[in-house]
Amino acid sequence: MAIIAPSLLAADFLQLQKACDIVNNSEADWFHLDVMDGRFVPNISYGLPVIEHIKKAAKKPCDVHLMILEPENFTEAFRKAGADIVSVHIEACPHLHRNIQQIKSLGMKAGVAINPHTPVESLKDILQDIDMVNVMTVNPGFGGQSFIPHSIHKIRELRRMIAERGLHVKIEVDGGVTLENAQAILHAGADVLVAGNTVFKSPDPIATIRQLKEL
Ligand code: DX5
Ligand code: ZN
């Protein structure tokens, strides 16, 4: 059964408590929290104080997706704010292995996110050290974009790489996940579905989460 991680980026920011209640009271598994710095990606979202507040309301793990340069400067602060899982971008980290060591040494699960143009092969020498890969299926920076179809091949290929090596790395798929394409994404080998607009812009988010969970 898939892990469902609703992205609060698509929630009403004036009603964050309500959004947290939706995730808490649904079959969702994690909170997906998108942090953008206006440098690595062309947008700014929210940061530490907001996550600190979400953490107080959250009854499920917080999966923090850092779309920022030099994440090492903030890893500890995100741990303190309540992150349980932290993903950093391969494209933003020349010393990726050190980033992963830092995240794990702080007691968090470590993920690596890859942009749509980054080949899954680039994970070859880090895969054994991480808990999760976030396969970005849109260009990071904005919610509500369309799933890039080629991503299906990447997910399948990554699943094969993980299986061949007998690893237990989770594959998270992030961007443009809908009720229509989720089945194919899972079939290709995804473990975690991130869904922003599909959940929070739906008339009944809890029912939509249930539908994703039942796929
Ligand atoms: C995009 C973020 C995504 C985003 C997904 O940069 O990483 O997590 O919130 O939103 P949807 O599901 O609306 O594409
Ligand atoms: Zn994300």
Find out whether the beta carbon of 197 lies less than 6 Å from any atom of ligand 1. yes
Question: What is the per-residue pLDDT for 70?
Answer: 98
pLDDT classification of 101: cutoffs 50, 70, 90: very high
Question: What is the per-residue pLDDT for 119?
Answer: 98
Point out the ligand 1 atom lying closest to the alpha carbon of residue 195.
Answer: 12
In the structure encoding, which two tokens stand for residue 38, read together?
């206006």
Distance from Cα 61 to the centre of ligand 2, integer Å? 15
Q: Which residue is catalytic, options 37, 63, 131, 174? A: 174
Domains of the chain: residue spans and CATH: 3-213 (3.20.20.70)
Question: What is the per-residue pLDDT for 107?
Answer: 98
Closest of 96, 84, 151 to residue 122, by C-alpha: 96
Distance from Cα 85 to the centre of ligand 1, integer Å? 17
- Residue 116 CA to residue 97 CA, distance in Å, equals 21
Count CA atoms within 13 Å of residue 105 on its CB side: 9
In the structure encoding, which two tokens stand for residue 115, read together?
């942009």
Alpha carbon of 120 to those of 4, 133, 168: distances in Å? Answer: 22, 9, 16
Question: What is the per-residue pLDDT for 90?
Answer: 98
pLDDT classification of 67: cutoffs 50, 70, 90: very high
Provide the CA 81 distance to its chain's centre, in angstroms. 17
pLDDT classification of 12: cutoffs 50, 70, 90: very high
Point out the ligand 1 atom lying closest to the alpha carbon of residue 196.
Answer: 12
Question: What is the per-residue pLDDT for 117?
Answer: 98
Provide the H-helix boundaries in the chain: 16-24, 48-57, 75-81, 96-105, 151-164, 182-188, 197-200, 205-213
- Decide if 125 is catalytic: no
- Decide if 174 is catalytic: yes
pLDDT classification of 60: cutoffs 50, 70, 90: very high
Q: Average pLDDT for residues 97-109, to the nearest whole number?
A: 98
What residues contact 188, with CB distance under 8 A and at least 6 apart? 152, 155, 156, 159
Count CA atoms within 13 Å of residue 197 on its CB side: 11
Q: Work out the mean pLDDT of the chain and round it to a whole number.
A: 98
Find out whether the beta carbon of 43 lies less than 6 Å from any atom of ligand 1. no
Question: What is the per-residue pLDDT for 132?
Answer: 99
- Over residues 135-192, the pLDDT tens digits come to 999 999 999 999 999 999 999 999 999 999 999 999 999 999 999 999 999 999 999 9
Beta bridge pairs of residue 193: 4, 173
pTM: 0.98
pLDDT classification of 201: cutoffs 50, 70, 90: very high
pLDDT classification of 205: cutoffs 50, 70, 90: very high
In the structure encoding, which two tokens stand for residue 52, read together?
């600190």
Closest ligand to residue 179's CA: 1
pLDDT classification of 57: cutoffs 50, 70, 90: very high
DSSP state of 137: S
Find out whether the beta carbon of 63 lies less than 6 Å from any atom of ligand 1. no
In the structure encoding, which two tokens stand for residue 1, read together?
């059964």
Point out the ligand 1 atom lying closest to the alpha carbon of residue 43.
Answer: 6
Q: Which residue is catalytic, options 34, 63, 131, 191? A: 34
- Residue 49 CA to residue 81 CA, distance in Å, equals 7
Question: What is the per-residue pLDDT for 22?
Answer: 98
Q: To test the ligand 1 pocket, which listed residue (197, 199, 202, 212) has its Cβ within 8 A of the most ligand atoms? A: 197
Q: Average pLDDT for residues 41-64, to the nearest whole number?
A: 98
- Residue 54 CA to residue 73 CA, distance in Å, equals 21
Point out the ligand 1 atom lying closest to the alpha carbon of residue 65.
Answer: 7
Question: What is the per-residue pLDDT for 69?
Answer: 98
Phi, psi for residue 103 in degrees, rounded to 5: -60, -45
Question: What is the per-residue pLDDT for 48?
Answer: 98
